[in-house]
Amino acid sequence: MERGDDYAAAGFLGRLGFGVRPAVVVVDVVTAYLDPESPLSDRGGRFERAREAAAQVVDAARTGGVPVVFTEVRLMAGGADGGLFRRKVPALAAFEAGSPWAAFPDEPAPLPGEVVVSKQYASAFFGTSLASTLTAWGVDTVVVVGFSTSGCVRATAVDALQHGFRPIVAADACGDRDVDVHEHNLFDLDAKYADVVAVSDVVAHFLAPSLSRTSEGAVP
């Protein structure tokens, strides 16, 4: 039996689908993953290809009137506010104050007026105002793109579900150091926590004339 068939027979791989008010959360698409000199870079081009795909999602969202939120990791010099996560992953020093690797690339990057959430841990929801912001906007669906698939993308998608949002993970717009780790985490997310879909499906949804927009004044 194929793995997908086995999971489906056991009651996994259900579908949540898009709701009526989506938002995009761009998770940690920063130069730490794109600069070959960074310890977090994969040096194989996977992060760069995911960046290009994430930019497509962001462009479609803006065209379709879908709000976009960016996240960044910000640690104080020395990393004391990173707690045990910083101790477990010394490479997180790339996000300490003064590091050039914490910067956004040219694309995608936040525009004036778009929300940027600063975080110290994996999930974009943990210890931040993200859930409150999305709720205030009337959002019911969170499309997640970014880095890395097995880390902050996964944690954000799981927490989106646990906060009552429909998580949609745009597979091609997520990157990881290792292709097998990337694929295994996408499968597991799709089985248990999120709908994993192609970037083309997300773009088509955002640009569809029938997309139900948020009510006037619900989002900036």
- Residue type, position 12, single letter: F
What token pair was written down for 90? 């010394």
Angle 178-100-74 (CA atoms, 0-180°, nearest 5)?
Answer: 80
Q: Looking at residue 184, what DSSP letter applies?
A: H
| Residue 174 among the catalytic residues | no
16 burial type by CB count under 10 A (0-12 exposed, 13-18 middle, 19+ buried) = middle
Count of alpha carbons within 13 angstroms of residue 71, beta-carbon side: 28
- Give the strands of the sheet with 166-175, arranged side by side: 115-119, 68-73, 22-27, 141-147, 166-175, 195-197
Tell me the three state secondary structure of residue 41: coil
Catalytic residue, candidates 55, 60, 102, 152: 152
Give the contacts of 188 (CB within 8 A, at least 6 positions apart): none
List Cα–Cα distances, 184 to 6, 75, 176, 192, in angstroms: 15, 29, 11, 12
* Residues annotated as catalytic (active site), given as ranges: 152
